[in-house]
Amino acid sequence: MVNAGDMNGSGNLMDFLDEPFPDVGTYEDFHTIDWLREKSRDTDRHRKITSKSKESIWEFIKSLLDAWSGWVVMLLIGLLAGTLAGVIDLAVDWMTDLKEGVCLSAFWYSHEQCCWTSNETTFDDRDKCPQWQKWSELLVGQSEGASAYILNYFLYIMWALCFAFLAVSLVRVFAPYACGSGIPEIKTILSGFIIRGYLGKWTLLIKTVTLVLVVSSGLSLGKEGPLVHVACCCGNFFSSLFSKYSKNEGKRREVLSAAAAAGVSVAFGAPIGGVLFSLEEVSYYFPLKTLWRSFFAALVAAFTLRSINPFGNSRLVLFYVEYHTPWYMAELFPFILLGVFGGLWGTLFIRCNIAWCRRRKTTRLGKYPVLEVIMITAITAIIAYPNPYTRRSTSELISELFNDCGALESSQLCDYINDPNMTRPVDDIPDRPAGPGVYSAMWQLALALVFKIVITIFTFGMKIPSGLFIPSMAVGAMAGRMVGIGVEQLAYHHHDWIIFRNWCRPGADCVTPGLYAMVGAAACLGGVTRMTVSLVVIMFELTGGLEYIVPLMAAAVTSKWVADAFGKEGIYEAHIHLNGYPFLDVKDEFTHRTLATDVMRPRRGEAPLSVLTQDSMTVEDVETLIKETDYNGFPVVVSKDSERLIGFAQRRELILAIKNARQRQDGVVSNSIVYFTEDPPELPPNSPHPLKLRRILNLSPFTVTDHTPMETVVDIFRKLGLRQCLVTRSGRLLGIITKKDVLRHMAQMANQDPESIMFN
């Protein structure tokens, strides 16, 4: 953008409309960045600013502004991410209720808001009021009976289909990159990959708008993963306003890491959990500076969301639990069982979902994305409506399952047989036998559990924004609550068994089924994503239950062990492998005894390495070499005989330099000799003007010898973020190893298909 303004000074305002002039130093789409070069460019820039700051007051102020620009970007990201999350929460709240009815006094109120000031609410029906009417009441005037039920059912399905169809059309027409969760692609981008347009403004707008639509349509998906994508888009947008970040891809990724933390922070209301999530799951390099910046961004985002106050009621956390009853050591056994369930479910989900996504990629199913979305929405709506636990939104379901049954609850799940003379305060109700409502709630929950397990496998990965935190937590919460009620009733009816006798006396409040739901939710989420520390922190920030850290940790650890026994990859790494992104995972261990010669190109029998010589090739030779091959760079050697390495030249920079030279410099023709040396020799007067390209040459390419073990080479690639590495023997250039070769080699060693690594 800056270069275009230089050329035509009068049109600065409209310059953003022009095509960005390809700059030396920008990268092509679907290529990997060179971390070392970005770092050295940033150091150069910083040194220049520091040395100029001593010259005048204005330069000093400019250097201060440059230092603070990082914090300003974080502030802006926090504000925008918090605002967008507040908008999404409010809109989802309203549109979810729109499927069932409408508020007559003001159509923009959800059910709860509509009945806020009403005096008609009763103890049993907390949300009843005359201003909010179901569709059957509005259209035909009846609210009970079979015809009203069928009409409500039909309209529920129609609204769900309408929302889902609108969402998938918007995604398809305006921003195809807005589908999916976004976290696998963001992980790849943060490891150094370029995907142009993935964090663009249209993607941001469409993802925000369609996220509301798909969550309201009742599909079994969550909004947390897409909110991370939205926050990273905000990060990309604000970092393009400051040249410190817009011109340096390495610095930009620091901002994106912090933005991801802000995204999780507003999704859950968990700032610290967000920072830990960014550290553990999303980021590739996470220096301490990024830790502070992420913390600030997450804090600002949480504060902004709090000030918008989307839930009303001053609720700071999403699923606030109000009980503080202690848990007992003997309960660790069911908690560990829930951990095992979480691990098993995680494995099942990952395997089935990857198989289904692979089928979608390779067969005819992938040709009908809109139809697929409509079918899944129809099936979800048809099966979800009859069961009251799946009819409501998943967040409300989790909230109800996490909460304990005090005297003030009147839902079916809390239909215990009460002692009529009891006068205990609300948070010390002893264990009671289950009434008929609890039994019916149990089998409804069991059906809902099976349904959610099956439908989430088909929902995650469709061409709409979809996350899977909330569905996994719902599955775990349902399983946990059922186990908790089971243990509670067991303790009540058999309080004289050995295991209960010590800690559970009759008339005491021993078992809290809500805690089991929390532990189950954490176990299932850990089993799918393989998060550990960040999961526990997010869970206790979500619920406010600090006493329950140990059970949560036990369940998280158990589910990770069980899930890792079946497969090392979490859901996001599995999707990265499915799509073939060039992501070199820092968690994998390379334990094979291969050497650099086994992996380098050219292999035996292949064409020799395409190199440039330092002073004997003409412009035409270089252009022919570039046109005939598609390598990203060429090593520069002294001469074809000696093959001693001088440096490495990037393909893109060669093209740009030659193009610029042909246009601007006089005398550079196809016969001109290209010089990579410092001082080209004196030429006879009628020879063509030489082309000096030393400035684009990287004089310090990384080299290893041919007997370097691959373990070391992989380590170097990971720690330094290299794109390619040259292989020498006795000082002579032998071959080249690129990141793609490393990934292919690792896939081959793990008996996977090496041809599945795509891109460059």
Partner 1 sequence: LFPQVHRMFAQNSRNSVSPVLLLVLLGCVLCPPAQASKSSEDIRCKCICPPYRNISGHIYNKNVSQKDCNCLHVVEPMPVPGNDVEAYCLLCECKYEERSTTTIKVIIIIYLSVVGALLLYMAFLVLVDPLIRKPDPYTQPLHNEEDSEDTRSLAAVPTLAGARANTVLERVEGAQQRWKRQVQEQRKTVFDRHKMLS
Site for partner 1 in 580-639 (CB under 8 A): 626, 630
Q: Give Cβ neighbours of residue 351 (< 8 Å, ≥ 6 apart).
A: 567
The nearer residue to partner 1, 195 or 340, going by C-beta atoms, is 195
Of 479-518, binders to partner 1 (CB under 8 A) are: none
User: Which of 75-83, 293-301, 508-516, 702-710 is the region at the interface with partner 1 (rule: CB under 8 A)?
Assistant: 75-83
The nearer residue to partner 1, 529 or 728, going by C-beta atoms, is 529
Tell me how far CA of residue 637 lies from CA of 602, 653, 670, 712, in angstroms: 16, 18, 21, 25
Q: Are 211 and 87 in contact (CB under 8 A)?
A: no
Of 101-160, binders to partner 1 (CB under 8 A) are: 106, 108-109, 113, 116-119, 121-124, 126
User: Which of 39-47, 407-415, 488-496, 707-715 is the region at the interface with partner 1 (rule: CB under 8 A)?
Assistant: 407-415
Look at residues 318, 52, 564, 49 and name the one whose alpha carbon lies nearest to residue 573: 564
The nearer residue to partner 1, 90 or 504, going by C-beta atoms, is 90
Among 185, 254, 372, 569, binds partner 1 (CB under 8 A): 185
Binding mask 518-557 for partner 1 (x = CB under 8 A): ----------------------------------------
Minimum Å gap between C-beta 123 and partner 1 is 3
Residue 371 binding partner 1, by CB under 8 A? yes
Residue 12 binding partner 1, by CB under 8 A? no
User: Which of 284-292, 404-412, 699-707, 720-728 is the region at the interface with partner 1 (rule: CB under 8 A)?
Assistant: 404-412
The nearer residue to partner 1, 209 or 646, going by C-beta atoms, is 209
Kindly give the pairing relationship between strand 132-134 and strand 101-103.
Answer: antiparallel
Q: What distance in Å separates the CA atoms of residue 102 and residue 110, rounded to the nearest whole number?
A: 8
Residue 309 binding partner 1, by CB under 8 A? yes
The nearer residue to partner 1, 60 or 303, going by C-beta atoms, is 303
The nearer residue to partner 1, 13 or 546, going by C-beta atoms, is 13
Specify the 3-state DSSP secondary structure of 598.
helix
DSSP 272-314: HHHHHHIIIII-S---HHHHHHHHHHHHHHHHHHHHH-TTSTT
Angle made by CA atoms 655, 657, 663, in degrees to the nearest 5: 100
Among 8, 40, 440, 629, binds partner 1 (CB under 8 A): 8
Specify the 3-state DSSP secondary structure of 259.
helix
Q: Are 528 and 468 in contact (CB under 8 A)?
A: yes
Residue 407 binding partner 1, by CB under 8 A? yes
Minimum Å gap between C-beta 88 and partner 1 is 9
Percent of residues in the chain assigned helix, strand, coil, to nearest 5 = 60, 10, 35
The nearer residue to partner 1, 31 or 560, going by C-beta atoms, is 31
Q: What distance in Å separates the CA atoms of residue 281 and residue 564, rounded to the nearest whole number?
A: 16
Q: What distance in Å separates the CA atoms of residue 245 and residue 247, rounded to the nearest whole number?
A: 6
Of 441-480, binders to partner 1 (CB under 8 A) are: 461, 463
User: Which of 206-214, 479-487, 686-694, 715-723 is the region at the interface with partner 1 (rule: CB under 8 A)?
Assistant: 206-214
Residue 410 binding partner 1, by CB under 8 A? yes
User: Which of 19-27, 141-149, 268-276, 506-514 is the region at the interface with partner 1 (rule: CB under 8 A)?
Assistant: 19-27
Q: Return left, alpha or beta for 679; rule: phi > 0 is left, psi -120 to 50 is alpha, else beta.
A: beta
Look at residues 242, 246, 187 and name the one whose alpha carbon lies nearest to residue 26: 246
User: Which of 242-250, 360-368, 396-404, 519-527 is the region at the interface with partner 1 (rule: CB under 8 A)?
Assistant: 360-368
Q: Are 349 and 456 in contact (CB under 8 A)?
A: yes
Minimum Å gap between C-beta 368 and partner 1 is 8
Specify the 3-state DSSP secondary structure of 700.
coil
Specify the 3-state DSSP secondary structure of 266.
helix
The nearer residue to partner 1, 53 or 203, going by C-beta atoms, is 203
User: Which of 11-19, 485-493, 499-507, 714-722 is the region at the interface with partner 1 (rule: CB under 8 A)?
Assistant: 11-19
The nearer residue to partner 1, 139 or 371, going by C-beta atoms, is 371
The nearer residue to partner 1, 354 or 646, going by C-beta atoms, is 354
Residue 579 binding partner 1, by CB under 8 A? yes
Phi, psi of 618 (to 5 degrees): -90, 170
Residue 14 binding partner 1, by CB under 8 A? yes
Minimum Å gap between C-beta 266 and partner 1 is 14
Among 9, 420, 605, 681, binds partner 1 (CB under 8 A): 420
Minimum Å gap between C-beta 411 and partner 1 is 13
Strand partners, 704: 727
Residue 243 binding partner 1, by CB under 8 A? no
Strand partners, 674: 617, 691
Residue 313 binding partner 1, by CB under 8 A? yes
- Tokens 């021993």, residue located: 510
Among 23, 29, 715, 755, binds partner 1 (CB under 8 A): 29
The nearer residue to partner 1, 170 or 710, going by C-beta atoms, is 170
Q: Are 474 and 520 in contact (CB under 8 A)?
A: no
DSSP secondary-structure letter at 21?
Answer: P
Specify the 3-state DSSP secondary structure of 576.
helix
Size of the site for partner 1 (CB under 8 A): 91
User: Which of 85-93, 295-303, 480-488, 492-500 is the region at the interface with partner 1 (rule: CB under 8 A)?
Assistant: 85-93
Kindly give the pairing relationship between strand 633-637 and strand 645-650.
Answer: antiparallel
**414: its two tokens:** 């809390």
Residue 308 binding partner 1, by CB under 8 A? yes
Q: What distance in Å separates the CA atoms of residue 579 and residue 361, rounded to the nearest whole number?
A: 9
The nearer residue to partner 1, 361 or 493, going by C-beta atoms, is 361
Q: Are 3 and 22 in contact (CB under 8 A)?
A: no
Minimum Å gap between C-beta 593 and partner 1 is 34
Of 656-685, binders to partner 1 (CB under 8 A) are: 659, 663
Among 366, 506, 602, 667, binds partner 1 (CB under 8 A): 366
Among 94, 156, 327, 500, binds partner 1 (CB under 8 A): 94
The nearer residue to partner 1, 331 or 431, going by C-beta atoms, is 431
Minimum Å gap between C-beta 83 and partner 1 is 6
Q: Give Cβ neighbours of residue 566 (< 8 Å, ≥ 6 apart).
A: 343, 347
Among 287, 312, 326, 433, binds partner 1 (CB under 8 A): 312
DSSP 212-254: HHHHHTT-S-BSHHHHHHHHHHHHHHHHTTSHHHHS-HHHHHH
Strand partners, 128: none
Minimum Å gap between C-beta 179 and partner 1 is 6
Q: What distance in Å separates the CA atoms of residue 567 and residue 120, rounded to the nearest whole number?
A: 55
Look at residues 524, 571, 252 and name the one whose alpha carbon lies nearest to residue 394: 524
Among 39, 45, 52, 172, binds partner 1 (CB under 8 A): 172
Minimum Å gap between C-beta 701 and partner 1 is 22
Strand partners, 483: none
User: Which of 7-15, 221-229, 489-497, 706-714 is the region at the interface with partner 1 (rule: CB under 8 A)?
Assistant: 7-15
**126: its two tokens:** 């907390």
Residue 401 binding partner 1, by CB under 8 A? no
Q: Are 233 and 114 in contact (CB under 8 A)?
A: no
Minimum Å gap between C-beta 575 and partner 1 is 7
**174: its two tokens:** 């305006």
Question: Could you give the angle at which helices 469-493 and 332-362 cross, rounded to 10 degrees?
Answer: 150
Among 47, 361, 505, 603, binds partner 1 (CB under 8 A): 361
Residue 27 binding partner 1, by CB under 8 A? no
Q: What distance in Å separates the CA atoms of residue 586 and residue 543, rounded to the nearest whole number?
A: 32
Residue 91 binding partner 1, by CB under 8 A? yes
